[in-house]
Structure 1
């Protein structure tokens, strides 16, 4: 099968798998144990913390290992809100955040917070002026993702960070889709906290990280928790973290080469759609977009049907974020960019990765031609 759903998850790479096996055999101790075997695992864990911090330009004291991006989003925002000294109950986010963030903000509304959900333009970008005008003396925190998981549009987080810093508003950003694809630097972008997931970068599933600027006050969301300095409960997954770090270091070493190759494949796909005059409209920003994500409207065909027809022909695509699958509502990103519900339901996402080839792209174009011509 041709896999075109790398934005949902990636296959673990051999080097990361070998690192997991080696750490499982040789560093099996609980890092919280005080004996030598535990200390050995703890030392390795701290090395991973240091090395991961280097990749985002942060400090190792700010790295907390988690089970993935969703947990990182939830715990970061909860811990910052619980720990802040700033008075106020107003929050800011966007209409197109990952479901883990949007669902949390709905919960926070039930708890007495007011939330401004920033709109986006037809390309999926926020308006910085709208952000500025949304900030009040009551605003405590804003969560604005680095790039959208459905159409790949990149947000101007350096400008966002500067605006929020100027108004003393905490800035959390979901970098699950961008980490390892484009540079992420916490100081340059004035980021107070961010989330990362291992399985988006060819590492193991069930592992991730959260960064919180060590100068920012936070309070553990879970009381009486000892692991990860009280950030989360549960024995730390040292082998998974080691594997995650290997994958993170490798993808950063390959970042420029990967982006160039994926950009070429993307161009081949888009050119093919145009040359074949397929009834497909590409969504997302024309330039400020991740090279690996191609969101599209297949005119006249529901995305679910396009996905199933592709699957019958051994091609795996999606109809959006894997965390929203099973819900009958149309893509929230498409609705936010101005599509009516019927058009929004025609959305599909193709996402490419390290195993995608020109031959795969040619086959996908052939299949899309076949499906749309019916």
Structure 2
């Protein structure tokens, strides 16, 4: 099988699998229990908090573990909104966020908050002017993703943060797609809260984290919760969290090397498209935006993305038509539509994403499949 869908989920690394296995066998106590077994489990949580906080350049006390990226976004946004004063009940997000962010904002709207959804420019970027135009005196919270999971477009968070800090507006970012791939520093980005997930960094599914600055006056979504300092109820998944920390540490050590490999694969793919004269247009042909090197969004002229994905699957190749969390819905992606493309073009969108095991041979097999599809069409 050729796997080119790392943006949806990654295989579990040997290091993470080993840690998960050992902790499941040897550290099965409830971290909230007061006996020695509980103490050992809590020690793992303490270490994992320190490890992930260090990667984010934050404080260990700011890490709250969750079940994954979706819950991280929901809890971070709603907890921050719960802590807003009565005169700061206006909240802002973008049209290109992960569905979990939109779910959180819809919940806030039902509870009486005023919600504004802003659109990026034609390059997919939220500029300072776009953000400024949406701000009101009562704005209390803004959530803008670090990078889009479908297009790979990176948002200029540090520039946007300067505007929000001046106005004392809280700033959350969904960094699920960037953590472990590029530098994600709380200090450099200027954000107040960050969401991340385990299964994007070669750890088992089932863990995630929110980093919340100590200055953020959040209030829990679930009153009476005692786990994770009241941030989230439920027994903490210690083996998965320990594996999450281990995988994150390993990924950061290899981050520059992997980034270089992804860039080489991306460049090779783009060169081969041109050489083979395939009617595939990519989002990489735009110098006005920064993009993650491991994600390539494409438009295959004459084919719907879903058809291309299924054809690739028949040839043992895994790609995507967009966010896995929105799969099953046959309509143009908001993230792609935001680039000012037609519905027809948006439905032709496919996404490939590289990772640790990706190779030029994988790319060649994908391109061969593309060529076969093109031949079949011409022969029809």
The Cα offsets for residues 261-286 of structure 1, whole Å up to 9 and x where unpaired, read as 11000100011111112111102554
Q: Which residue of 2 aligns with 1:244?
A: 244
Q: What is the TM-score with the length of structure 2 in the denominator? A: 0.96
In structure 1, C-alpha distance between the alignment counterparts of 2:268 and 2:253, rounded to whole Å: 25
Q: Which residue in the other structure is 2:233 paired with?
A: 233
C-alpha displacement at 1:122, in angstroms? 3.0
Aligned residue number for residue 324 of structure 1 = 326
Task: Name the CA distance, whole Å, in 2 between partners of 1:15 and 1:86.
Answer: 47
The DSSP-based 3-state class of the residue aligned with 1:267 is helix
Q: TM-score, normalised by structure 1?
A: 0.98
Cα distance between partner residues in 2 of 1:257 and 1:365: 25
Residue in 2 aligned with 1:80? 80
Q: Is residue 162–residue 189 contact of structure 1 (8 Å, CA) maintained in 2?
A: no
Does the residue aligned with 1:195 lie in a helix, a strand or coil? strand
Moved more, 79-88 or 307-316: 79-88
Which position in structure 2 is the counterpart of 1:270?
A: 270
Are 1:364 and 2:376 an aligned pair?
Answer: no
Which of 340, 343, 349 is the equivalent residue of 2:351? 349
Count of residue pairs the alignment pairs up: 374
CA RMSD between the two structures: 1.2
Q: SS in structure 1 opposite 2:108?
A: helix
Greater shift after overlay, 158-167 or 81-90? 81-90
| Alpha-carbon distance in structure 1 between the residues aligned to 2:225 and 2:322 | 35
Q: Equivalent residues in 2 for 1:33-52 (5 A)?
A: 33-52=33-52
Q: Which runs of 5+ in 1 are unaligned?
A: none
Identify the residue that residue 15 of structure 2 maps to in structure 1: 15
Aligned: 1:101 with 2:87? no
DSSP-derived class of the 2:329 partner: coil
- Tell me the SS of whatever aligns to 2:332: coil
- Residue 168 of structure 1 corresponds to 168
- Partner Cα separation in structure 2 for residue 279 and residue 24 of structure 1: 50
CA distance in 1, matches of 2:206, 2:184: 22
Q: CA deviation digits over 1:190-236, x for unaligned, max 9?
A: 21111000000100101110110012111110011111011111100
For 1:364 and 1:327, how far apart are their aligned partners in 2? 24
Contact residue 227 and residue 233 of structure 1 kept, 8 A: yes
Distance 2:248 2:86 in 1: 35
- Show the counterpart of 1:334: 336
Task: Name the SS of the counterpart of 1:7 in structure 2.
Answer: coil
Does the CA-based 8 Å contact 1:307-1:348 persist in structure 2? yes
